[in-house]
């Protein structure tokens, strides 16, 4: 499912996104709880100079010695309010170079499903979110954009693209930004999938600068869905297809994925190990 990464809200500089890919489907009455976590190696170029301070120097020395590790976490409950409308909120916590680990943002998001995907085919939804920054000196952020899915046999392609805008007294950019998450997942065995994911962010698309000044990363991901249908890719299509069956007690569903992201630019962390777990009922 979207916090990511995803994309983490409430930062006035490139964020350590939680690598979130939101699915387009909505199911009335479903409750899902997502956890997304990541650990990051390699400070983005220039972040040490911006942060400054004795503690930062120590952290850089620890990193050079292979001892430093940064972490970030998202906790996101989601609620299917109607057959089309999904509501969620996200608590994000991370550890910037110049600050301690702490809550960084609270995000409220609404999603509306425009085209329902049932098995193979195309699905489309739109989502809008407001992120409240919880650290002093950081800006709130608004994001809006489409969530698209295309399923062809064992292949599922999912795209999240958002326009973003900083707001509040701490906003340091007047133009719109752009953030994206993209995933291609292929079912390789019953309940197992493998794929590739890519994430990126441009703080101001009217003044995007060179590619190296933007945040982009890519890497492989392994998916496991022990409670899903053997023939399902993506986790939710079968629930939609069975709506005409007699309703019973909701079944608990669990899935997770783990992957590695490699930074493609100087302002992205060099490497990040990511994990996502989802529990639905």
What whole-number distance in Å separates Cα of residue 108 and Cα of residue 66?
Answer: 37
pTM of the model: 0.83
CA angle 231, 273, 143 (to 5 degrees): 80
Q: Tell me if 265 sits within 8 A of 213, measured CB to CB.
A: yes
What is the full DSSP assignment across 247-262?
P-SPPPEEEEEEEEEE
What pLDDT is recorded for position 66?
A: 40
- For the chain, strand residue ranges (E) read 31-41, 70-80, 85-94, 102-115, 121-133, 140-152, 155-167, 177-189, 192-202, 215-224, 253-263, 271-280
**Residue ranges of the chain with pLDDT lower than 70?**
1-17, 43-69, 97-98, 229-250
Predicted local confidence at residue 15, as pLDDT = 44
CA-CA distance, 162 to 169, in Å (whole number)?
22
CA–CA separation, 91 vs 40, rounded Å? 19
pLDDT score at 202: 93
Residue whose C-alpha is closest to residue 19's, from 158, 146, 122: 158
Instruction: Give the model's pLDDT for residue 254.
Output: 94
Secondary structure of residue 91 in the 3-state scheme:
strand
Measured between alpha carbons, how far is residue 144 from residues 1, 74, 86, 116, 208 in Å? Answer: 16, 19, 14, 19, 19
Torsion angle (degrees, nearest 10) of CA 266, 137, 21, 118: -150
Domain annotation for the chain: domains and CATH numbers: 31-280 (2.40.160.40)
C-alpha span between 173 and 167 (Å, rounded): 9
**Helix segments in 1-110, DSSP class H:** 47-51, 54-64
Instruction: Please tell me the distance from the alpha carbon of residue 49 to that of residue 54, in angstroms, as a whole number.
Output: 11
DSSP-derived 3-state class of residue 237 = helix
Give me the helices (H) in 144-277, please: 237-241
Q: How big is the CA angle at 265 (ends 260 and 270), to the nearest 5 degrees?
A: 40
Question: Which sign does the torsion angle of CA 75, 122, 119, 200 carry?
Answer: negative
- Specify whether the CB–CB gap between 8 and 250 falls below 8 A: no
pLDDT at 93: 92
- What Cα–Cα distance (Å) separates residue 105 from each residue in 15, 77, 166? 11, 15, 13
What are the CA-CA distances from residue 229 to residues 187, 225, 236, 252, 270 (Å)? 12, 8, 9, 13, 36
- Residue 65 sits at φ, ψ, to 5 deg, of -85, 0
Judge contact between 16 and 37, C-beta under 8 A: no
Tell me what pLDDT residue 262 has: 96
Q: How far apart are CA 239 and CA 87, in angstroms?
A: 19
């Amino acid at each position: 499912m979207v916090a990511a990464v995803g994309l983490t809200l409430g930062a006035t500089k490139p964020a350590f996104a939680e690598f979130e890919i939101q699915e387009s489907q909505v199911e009335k009455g479903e409750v899902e709880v997502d956890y997304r976590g990541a650990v990051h190696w390699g400070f983005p170029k220039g972040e040490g100079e911006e942060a400054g301070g004795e503690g930062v120097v120590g952290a850089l020395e620890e990193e050079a010695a292979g001892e430093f590790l940064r972490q970030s976490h998202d906790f996101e409950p989601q609620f299917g309010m109607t057959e089309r409308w999904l509501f969620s909120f996200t608590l994000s916590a991370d550890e910037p170079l110049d600050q301690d680990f702490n809550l960084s943002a609270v995000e409220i998001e609404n999603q509306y499903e425009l085209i329902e995907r049932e098995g193979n085919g195309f699905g489309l939804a739109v989502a809008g979110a407001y992120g409240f920054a919880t650290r002093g000196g950081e800006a709130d952020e608004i994001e809006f954009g489409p969530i698209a899915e295309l399923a062809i046999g064992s292949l599922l392609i999912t795209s999240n693209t958002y326009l973003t805008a900083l707001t509040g007294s701490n906003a340091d950019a007047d133009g719109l930004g752009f953030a994206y998450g993209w995933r291609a997942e292929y079912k390789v065995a019953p309940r197992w999938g493998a794929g590739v994911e890519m994430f990126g962010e441009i703080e101001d698309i009217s003044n995007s600068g060179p590619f190296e000044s933007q945040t982009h990363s890519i890497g492989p991901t392994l998916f496991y869905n022990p409670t899903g249908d053997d023939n399902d890719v993506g986790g939710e299509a079968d629930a939609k297809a069975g709506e005409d069956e007699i309703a019973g007690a909701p079944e608990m569903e669990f899935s997770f994925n783990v992957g590695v992201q490699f930074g493609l630019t100087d302002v992205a962390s060099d490497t990040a190990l990511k994990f996502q777990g989802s529990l639905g009922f």
